[in-house]
Structure 1
Amino acid sequence: MATTWPVAGTGWGIGLSFLILTPIIAFYLPKILSRYSGDDINEARQKLQELEIHTIPELKKTLREVEEQRMLQAAIKETSDDALDKMVVWLRHAQYEAEDILDLIDYHKIERKFVLKSHGSSWPHRLHGTVSTCNMSCTGIAHIIWQGSAWLLQLARKSSLSRFSFLHRSDDVLPVTTSATPSPSDETVPAATSAAPRFCCSSIFYWFLDAGARIYRNWFSDVVGITGYKENATELDYVLPSVSRRNLKERIEKVQRTISLVKKSHLLVASKSAANDIVNMHRRKITSCSSKREVFGRDILLTDIMSKLLGETPHNSIALSSSSNKCYSVIGIYGVAGSGKTTLARYVLDHVKEYYAEHFDTLMCIHVTETFTVDDIFHDMLEQITKHRNSNTLSCEELKKKLKQNLRGKRFFLILDDVWVKGNNYQELKELCSPFNVGMKGSKILATARREDAIRALGANGLIAISDLDEDQYFRMFMHYALNGLSVDDREFEPIGRKIAVKLHRSPIAAAVVGGQLHGQTIAFWKTTATLDVLNDTMGALRWSYMQLDMDIRRCFEYCNIFPRRFKLEKDKLVHLWIAQGFVKTGRETTNMEDVAERYIHELQSCSFLQPEETGYFSIHDLVHELAQTIAGSDSFRIENASWRREEMEVDVPTDARHLFVQKYDGDLITKKILQMENLRTLIFYTVGRAPVEEKVIESIFKRLQKLRVLAITLSSEHHGRYIKKPDKISVSESISQLKHLRYLAIRAKVACRIILPSTLAKLYHIQMLDFGNCEKMELPTADLISMRRLLLPLTGVKFPNLGRSKLLQTLPGFTVRDEQGCELKQLRDLNKLRGSLWIRGLENVQTKKEALEANLAAKERLTQVSLEWRANRSCNPKVQADVLECLCPPTSLTKLNILNYKGSRYPKWMVCKQNGGPKDLKELRLTGWNQLGRAPDLVAFTLLSSLDLWNCGWDALPGNMEHLTLLKRLVMYKCLNILSLPTLPQSLERFLLRKCNDGFMKSCLTIGHPNWEKIEHIPEKTIADKTWTDL
């Protein structure tokens, strides 16, 4: 037993000796290795340079030429060319591959920087680097030196790492799992004795490999373009392994072969001139787009429809629920795609809202998709009636019951847009109408469809075939889109415009799209366009319009195909989806990608490829959506409600698809189909049904679909414990770090849910957007997420240490100051790209002027709304509060300001003086919980104020300069108990609300002839009562 310890000591001594000798080995080993690896490394370097400088630009050029020829052939033959379709698929796949290669290299560049930054170059961490390097970078060399290297490296890791884990700092200990140690006995001695020689041998070989690995790593860092990677500063290494270098060259060569093969095609060579004739190489000038719906030549139809809508109006008569005595009647509009049915229906709805709003109790407008389900239609109706979305776990019968409750005794007007009769859905259409017969007589349904039988299936007793516009009306509409808002001589453009309009065969959508592309173009371009036969067909006209777009905008438009028809596209989300996919290109580093994407949106809207809905949303016309689907091909795929049945499992999902939209989450679908799609870049689960989201299934996505750039998952919700209970929490697997390309991660819940994030989230160096919806009590790992641009989190209960390192951040709803390292107010200092709204909580934890100044709030010039909040139940020094608020001067561009629970000893100069900075354009001001005595501060600096809210404040008088706020339209006072009189108020006021204030004061405002009453007499809308806020 005594002799075993010297043996073990000898092993430790040899191991430590080689740890010291590593730099010496590292100096001499490159002289040996350079004889064998130099040519291979140079070749790899050249391949990467060719890829970035020559191959990718040539790939984009070739892809554009093939796509344009494909569009031209489709327009001429009215069918696609299979050979051209295949060429487009090959080139797109090559483009994706090239982008992924460069993206992965960029990932390792970022990773190396942060590994070195976090660990430094200490010898303990040098040992850790040794482990990583041997495991990642020297597999090939180890195989040459020793055939059994895999076994040896595993043995070396087990022996050396477990024994030397004590060398690491406490915050970076390697995870070594050991069982409980038994008490010493003779049985443990042989184990120690046998381990010592193994430890010596494995350690010697292990460190010998490390020396070579670091030199090998340095060479490869040059290959992949990493600069400044010096031997004396590169202890931790996460560059691509050597086996990947050979694979890298093969991947690049495959991309190059694809381009070469396509360029030799006779289809491409022979058709360049023809395609060039219809593609405008000069960018048109984009002017402002009107969001107002324009309708031409439909006045007679409108009058006819309105007479039918208002014809049966017996008051207070509730319908009987018999088929012979329905409370509603159906009016049907039918016509071919693109004939203006939807536009006319929306025009009728707008007319009803403007002139006959009191005639109907409830207005609804629902789009009926080709793959509609009755459940979804009922959901949409309830959402429009109640203004909130019901749980997806409700059964059809429950939805029908709720719908009847909301429609009972009411006269409703319902638009069912784009009704389809397909297969055996007659019964579903009948079921769709089943809840309607509980309303008031005179209720109306206006339905649109491409075919007459679809309208008749709903029981329509008034059919209207939408006719073509006459020639003059159509020409007026076309010229509206082509010249509206431009200062040009119409007489020069009109003759050519008539020639183009004739080619479009009076298709409204063609007029909007082609006219939009001609808007801002030269007369020469108009003349060329007038000669094109491609415009003779509506789809041909749409293809021509698509071909006028830049390549990057084309990719953005094609991406929209991932969403179902008539899907409401939220502008902000669409912008960040495009950015995540790399479709948005900026010419300079200082150019903001969001601003470029906004321009893309604007251009697509100007040619009617995107049509505005309510504020911040867009939709796509059916024919335009068909165009996007044709262009995208197998790149994008949707699994909608009707296309997937658990019992069938027969949906044919293309395994080479890059973007996938799934209407409802389904674990079996993921396991059996989606996990086979290893090239996926986008995976969106829009909603959930009755099956919960499973952590193990999500983990399998992380492990199998490693090319994902966008992953969006909607979690399940709870409905009284039926069907499914919402997850109280969901743990995200550590394997999320394998998604090295990921930019956009959304895990959203309809109700509060705790999401537990792993520390490995910090390895998502490319992540740009995190969206966690209604999560609660979340803590993001301490990380340098330098690519982060958009962070959507609840305003409370979330902690994100060292947020200030994300200097590109633009969206941050809230930030809570904490008395913890990494959560100080100074974390906001460098976040000067923030835009939109920002709510800062926890200001009671700010103790000095210096801390407040470090936030640099005034420099955040793109913020439009700021809220500053002290906790109400925390006592703070009034002088400190005053200093803090003085130093938190908002940016001058601010339009909305909200300050809560301020108890400072003075008012900030930027509020009460014009000459002291502050928001000059402030429109809305809300002050809550201010307890200062005396009069409220004069708002001298806010001369453009239009709305003033005072909540629970201790002042005894309103600001003295109220009369001079000549743009003020709204004044609200709530729980201001000390105010007894009003000053002279501006004549501009339109709304005055007084609630839960002093009883005598409120009574005086209601007493005719009282001075307070006289000061509000001129205000059109006055509310003075102790009612709930929603009743005001």
Structure 2
Amino acid sequence: MPVGEAFLSATLGVLFDRMASRPVLDFFKSQQLNAPLKKLKNKLTIINRVLDDAEDKRHTDPFVKQWHDELKDVVYDAEDLLDEIASEVQRSEIEAQSQTSLQKAQDFASSHNPFKRRKNERLEKILETLEDLVDQKDALGLMDGIGGKPSYQRTPTTWIPDESVIYGRDDDKEAIMKWVLSDHPNISNPDVLAIVGHGGLGKTTLAQHVYVSSTVPDCFDKKSWVCVAEEFDVFKVTKDILVGFTNKSSNADNLNQLQSELMLVLTDQKFFLVLDDDWNRDYSKWEDLLKPLKFGRKGSKILVTTRDEAVANLTRTSPIYPLQKLSGDDCWSLFEKHASLGTDMPSTHRDLVWIGKQIVKKCDGLPLAAKVIGGALRGKRESEDWKNILESDTWDLANDNILPVLKISYQFLQSELKRCFAYCAVFPKDCAIYKEQVIRLWMAEGLLTQSKGNEDIEQVGEGCFDDLVSRSFFQKSERKYICRGGFLMRKCFLMHDLINDLAKSISGEFCFNGVDRSCEITGRIRHLRTDGWELGKHIFTIKRVRTILLTDWAIEEEVIDRLTTLTRLRVLCWHSSNELPDAIGNLMHLRCLDLSNSTIGRLPDSVVSLWNLETLILFNCEELEELPAKISQLINLSQLDIRGTDLTRMPPHMGKLKKLGELDYYIVGEESDCSIKELGPLERLRGRLLIGNLRNVSQVQESVEANLKGKEKLKKLSLVWNDEGIEDSFHERNVLEKLQPHSNIEQLSIYGYAGTRFPDWVGNSSFSNMVVLTLEECKYCCPLPALGQLGSLKRLSIIGFEEITVVGTEFYGKSNKPPFGCLESLTFIGMRQWKEWVPYSSKDEGDGAFPLLQKLVIEDCPNLIKTLPVDLPSLKMLAIDSPEVNQLDLGPALEEIKIYNCENLKCLFAAAELKHLKRLWISSCPNLKEIQFTHLPSLTKLIITGSDSLESFSLDLGPALEEIDIWGCKGLNCLSAAAELEH
């Protein structure tokens, strides 16, 4: 049956690899336990042969399901046992580095007889359970080698759904939009319409297309989208509505205060609100939610989506809108897109169209089914693969609420993907899933298989995640993220409710997500997302738990202490921690410790005993001032995130962490064992790296030994000097010379560099991948480096160069190619001595600089007289703040102009019509007398302030104007407007 291997095959593969590892073999050999080890291999091999059949039958046979769950249980136990053995051997080796490998294991075993005895007892129990399972397989009728196991081929390119296209819903959208825009005096306020239909029909997708319609903003003062989901908490939903309307958080801690705030926001305001995925059947809760919403102006609308017709009847004031299935043709179009069937398909593949149409018939008009099954077949061009889908018995399953078609897509995943997907049952419905976080969790749980090539395990995880996205198991989304400056939109992923149900059905009692109360927390639980109260309630039950994701702040001290007895824990995410227990070092299996956004001030020294720790996340731990001095003992650490901490120095010997791939921040110390040369052995560094306190580099050779040039996987590099004044500019230049990164670098920032010139590599054309360059507070540098030949550069910022008086021809570089050929954004700020910008001259007409420049910002440059290059054909945004400027040449593509503090500017004109200009700001230009624009048909906003010499001007504007604000112009005595504005 399954094209992909059984769910447990990947786990058994990991077990076989672990049994063949050197530490495990050394231990079993030293204890004369080769026979039990061989027996363990044999039993697992026998069971592995029937896994495909068991995977198939467990959906329909409860006895096979029980057998499968018991097998999963004992496999987890065996994995834990071997992991403990390997960890203890590794620990003993670190403590006795002078001995041979075999001596280490022997000495360790002989001096730890209780350890040996406990492991033997557990091994015997595991073998006994496996023996029983082997005996049962024949009685259950499990067959060897059912189905093929062709090697899994990853999709060559990632398929990302085009959310801008909606199939077969044009009439539905038109009907909903007609209701949204209607404004009858007799309708209720607010008017509520409910779209109802079972999961997978596309209710949310339809609501999204209505919500983003271009006509909605014109008809409503405010709009908000809230996902309600299964738990209908009036306080939470009200707060989400308020945040959506205002884009501001509320500090209200009770419902009365919160609803008062919402009432004030909505009074006399016409609003549009979407309540997506409503499951609430409690009429009193609905009435409570409506109270402040009734203060909105007449014509306000609430659009509800729900699977439950009872919910629809409870909420609606307009007739229910039942969403129907897609027509056969529309369902086929959706399937055809996601299966990548095109008109250019070879004739040899025409039979796939016939098979595909039979599959679409079984999709029964469900958009989600067509999308997921199409994604599963994307890239497959063998008719046998398509027939396997068509002829699968799983289509006929109807014993639960999971769409059978989704089970098929799951069954045809490779075993590694099955395990990764099933693990995601730990996330409740509508929970934001962040790619980097999920990959870390998969790594910690050992769900990823290291490839034999050069791929890092993190890259393997990225490939698995992208595969699941391409098959629609995850959907792209965005969530508001509260940060110090307010709100940010952060990219994330979601699982459709049906997909989430599928994951829960696969994981069964091994996963608990803290929301689904139909599941119980039992001794079998391995992955747990819960709050502190629930954790305390079950702390003595969950002895074999491997994942704990804590969701709130209230955890009793006794429970915190008990955490350290959960010795099989591999993942602990605890964002409310202010102190870790000293016994945290007992968690020998721990791979991932995430304390981000917590108030923790120090890590206990016992953290360095976590030999298996791979990921340590301390992001935004603002009170954390230091790391344990012996953190270099964490030799398996691959990610250390210390952004947003209060660290001032690094622990010594960081270079020993040779597996470290992600180190966002490194602080150069004065001592030799904290110097920049500690970066040298960290050959796996990738992604982004900020190196701070570079003034502490006392010897140029230390920069050489850092070997940044050899770190080809680094994409973003920031080099930061602490600002203590210039001491030896020649030394600083030599240091920077040797900090040349690999040519693969994409983003480079240099801050506080105290040299007087940049080394030649800065701006060298060999950096063909560089797209962003920032040079900031390099106060003594003169002239600017030659940057014009960075062929891929799109964004350039030059800030705080206090010695620059002329930006001359050296800025463009020496080459036959026009400089800055790809540059889109150019910023100059704080160039207080800058007087002249020498234009680029070319012998060939049409080969000017900056052909693609769209944004030019010049701020705090008080002495600049000659400003812009004459010909900037693509310039869309110009912002300038320079008192000495007396003339501006405005290009025809401009969409936004901001002119501030240009004291000598007397006339503003454009040679060509500015037909694309949308926004014009003029402020504090006291000598500006004339504004000469022929026609501004696209202008939406005009603001003129503090321009006392402006006496008159004509507004030859178009009908697009939305806002005009003119004040502080004392000399203005005449303002004329075009006829089309007089209304």
Taking structure 2 as the reference length, what is the TM-score of the superposition? Answer: 0.78
Partner in structure 1 of residue 425 of structure 2: 561
Contact 1:433/1:458 (CA < 8 Å) preserved in 2? Answer: no
CA deviation map 1:537-591 (0-9, x unaligned):
5722222221112222211111111111121110000011011001111243843
Give the CA deviation at 1:737.
0.7
Give the CA deviation at 1:239.
7.7
Query: 1:461/1:928 Cα in 2 relative to 1: closer, same or farther (>3 Å)?
Result: same
Partner in structure 1 of residue 692 of structure 2: 841
Q: For the residues of structure 1 that align with 2:249 and 2:389, how far apart are their CA atoms? A: 47
Partner in structure 2 of residue 628 of structure 1: 503
Partner in structure 1 of residue 356 of structure 2: 497
Query: 1:268/1:684 Cα in 2 relative to 1: closer, same or farther (>3 Å)?
Result: farther
Partner in structure 1 of residue 172 of structure 2: 301
1:655 aligns with 2:523: yes
- What does 1:119-158 correspond to in 2, within 5 Å? none
CA deviation map 1:620-648 (0-9, x unaligned):
111121111111111001223x969xxxx
Query: 1:560/1:245 Cα in 2 relative to 1: closer, same or farther (>3 Å)?
Result: same
Higher Rg of the two aligned structures = 1
Contact 2:92/2:105 (CA < 8 Å) preserved in 1? Answer: no
1:709 aligns with 2:570: yes
Give the CA deviation at 1:525.
2.2
CA deviation map 1:317-375 (0-9, x unaligned):
xxxxxxx99764322210112212122222323434xx655554544332212123223
Give the CA deviation at 1:976.
1.8
Alignment partner of 1:768 out of 576, 593, 614: 614
Alignment partner of 2:832 out of 950, 965, 977: 977
Contact 1:59/1:95 (CA < 8 Å) preserved in 2? Answer: no
CA deviation map 1:272-312 (0-9, x unaligned):
48x946x7645355142124224210011111122222333
Partner in structure 2 of residue 257 of structure 1: 128
Give the CA deviation at 1:738.
0.6
1:516 aligns with 2:372: no
Partner in structure 2 of residue 98 of structure 1: 78
Query: 1:84/1:270 Cα in 2 relative to 1: closer, same or farther (>3 Å)?
Result: closer
Q: For the residues of structure 2 that align with 1:633 and 1:505, how far apart are their CA atoms? A: 28
Partner in structure 1 of residue 589 of structure 2: 741
* Secondary structure of residue in 2 paired with 1:931: coil
Contact 1:707/1:740 (CA < 8 Å) preserved in 2? Answer: yes
Alignment partner of 2:459 out of 589, 595, 599: 595
Give the CA deviation at 1:764.
0.3
Query: 1:291/1:508 Cα in 2 relative to 1: closer, same or farther (>3 Å)?
Result: closer
AA aligned to 2:367 is P
Query: 1:1015/1:605 Cα in 2 relative to 1: closer, same or farther (>3 Å)?
Result: same
1:472 aligns with 2:323: no
Q: For the residues of structure 2 that align with 1:307 and 1:268, how far apart are their CA atoms? A: 62
CA deviation map 1:86-122 (0-9, x unaligned):
11221111111111011101111221122124xx69x
Partner in structure 1 of residue 197 of structure 2: 335
Paired residues, what number?
827
Contact 1:989/1:1019 (CA < 8 Å) preserved in 2? Answer: no
Partner in structure 2 of residue 794 of structure 1: 643
AA aligned to 1:956 is T
Contact 1:860/1:891 (CA < 8 Å) preserved in 2? Answer: yes
Between stretches 402-411 and 565-574, larger displacement belongs to 402-411
Between stretches 298-307 and 506-515, larger displacement belongs to 506-515
* Secondary structure of residue in 1 paired with 2:832: coil
AA aligned to 1:630 is S
Q: For the residues of structure 2 that align with 1:399 and 1:507, how far apart are their CA atoms? A: 40
* Secondary structure of residue in 2 paired with 1:588: coil
Query: 1:238/1:822 Cα in 2 relative to 1: closer, same or farther (>3 Å)?
Result: farther
- What does 1:660-679 correspond to in 2, within 5 Å? 660-662=528-530, 664-666=531-533, 669-679=534-544
Q: For the residues of structure 2 that align with 1:920 and 1:511, how far apart are their CA atoms? A: 42
Q: For the residues of structure 1 that align with 2:278 and 2:866, how far apart are their CA atoms? A: 55
Partner in structure 2 of residue 292 of structure 1: 162
Partner in structure 2 of residue 144 of structure 1: none
Partner in structure 2 of residue 373 of structure 1: 233
Alignment partner of 2:338 out of 471, 477, 481: 481
CA deviation map 1:920-979 (0-9, x unaligned):
211111111111364422214422211111222212233634572122111222222122
Q: For the residues of structure 2 that align with 1:89 and 1:611, how far apart are their CA atoms? A: 29
Alignment partner of 1:420 out of 261, 276, 279: 279
Q: For the residues of structure 2 that align with 1:409 and 1:238, how far apart are their CA atoms? A: 78
Q: For the residues of structure 1 that align with 2:520 and 2:393, how far apart are their CA atoms? A: 37
Contact 2:643/2:665 (CA < 8 Å) preserved in 1? Answer: yes
Give the CA deviation at 1:397.
3.6
Between stretches 950-959 and 601-610, larger displacement belongs to 950-959
Give the CA deviation at 1:530.
2.4
Q: For the residues of structure 2 that align with 1:375 and 1:543, how far apart are their CA atoms? A: 36
Partner in structure 2 of residue 779 of structure 1: 626
Q: For the residues of structure 1 that align with 2:886 and 2:851, how far apart are their CA atoms? A: 16
More helix by share: 1
Partner in structure 2 of residue 576 of structure 1: 440
**Alignment RMSD (CA, Å):** 3.4
Structure 1: tracts of 5 or more residues without a match: 1-37, 74-80, 122-217, 219-225, 315-323, 645-650, 717-729
Contact 2:754/2:779 (CA < 8 Å) preserved in 1? Answer: yes
1:869 aligns with 2:720: yes
Give the CA deviation at 1:387.
5.4
Contact 1:939/1:959 (CA < 8 Å) preserved in 2? Answer: no
Partner in structure 2 of residue 648 of structure 1: none
Q: For the residues of structure 2 that align with 1:413 and 1:1002, how far apart are their CA atoms? A: 51
Partner in structure 1 of residue 710 of structure 2: 859
Q: For the residues of structure 2 that align with 1:442 and 1:876, how far apart are their CA atoms? A: 69
* Secondary structure of residue in 2 paired with 1:827: helix
* Secondary structure of residue in 1 paired with 2:715: strand
Give the CA deviation at 1:421.
2.8
Query: 1:408/1:990 Cα in 2 relative to 1: closer, same or farther (>3 Å)?
Result: farther
Q: For the residues of structure 1 that align with 2:762 and 2:137, how far apart are their CA atoms? A: 72
Contact 2:881/2:900 (CA < 8 Å) preserved in 1? Answer: no
AA aligned to 1:374 is V
Partner in structure 1 of residue 911 of structure 2: none
Query: 1:513/1:748 Cα in 2 relative to 1: closer, same or farther (>3 Å)?
Result: same
Contact 2:686/2:715 (CA < 8 Å) preserved in 1? Answer: yes
Q: For the residues of structure 1 that align with 2:265 and 2:675, how far apart are their CA atoms? A: 49
Query: 1:435/1:643 Cα in 2 relative to 1: closer, same or farther (>3 Å)?
Result: farther
* Secondary structure of residue in 1 paired with 2:213: helix
Partner in structure 2 of residue 26 of structure 1: none
Q: For the residues of structure 2 that align with 1:401 and 1:1002, how far apart are their CA atoms? A: 56
- What does 1:124-273 correspond to in 2, within 5 Å? 227-229=102-104, 237=108, 241-265=112-136, 270=141, 272=143
Query: 1:285/1:700 Cα in 2 relative to 1: closer, same or farther (>3 Å)?
Result: closer
Contact 2:43/2:134 (CA < 8 Å) preserved in 1? Answer: no
Query: 1:795/1:897 Cα in 2 relative to 1: closer, same or farther (>3 Å)?
Result: farther
1:89 aligns with 2:76: no
Higher RCO (Cα < 8 Å, 6 or more apart): 1
Query: 1:936/1:39 Cα in 2 relative to 1: closer, same or farther (>3 Å)?
Result: closer
Partner in structure 1 of residue 795 of structure 2: 947
Contact 1:313/1:441 (CA < 8 Å) preserved in 2? Answer: no
Q: For the residues of structure 1 that align with 2:356 and 2:326, how far apart are their CA atoms? A: 16
AA aligned to 1:561 is A
Give the CA deviation at 1:271.
5.1
Query: 1:96/1:462 Cα in 2 relative to 1: closer, same or farther (>3 Å)?
Result: same
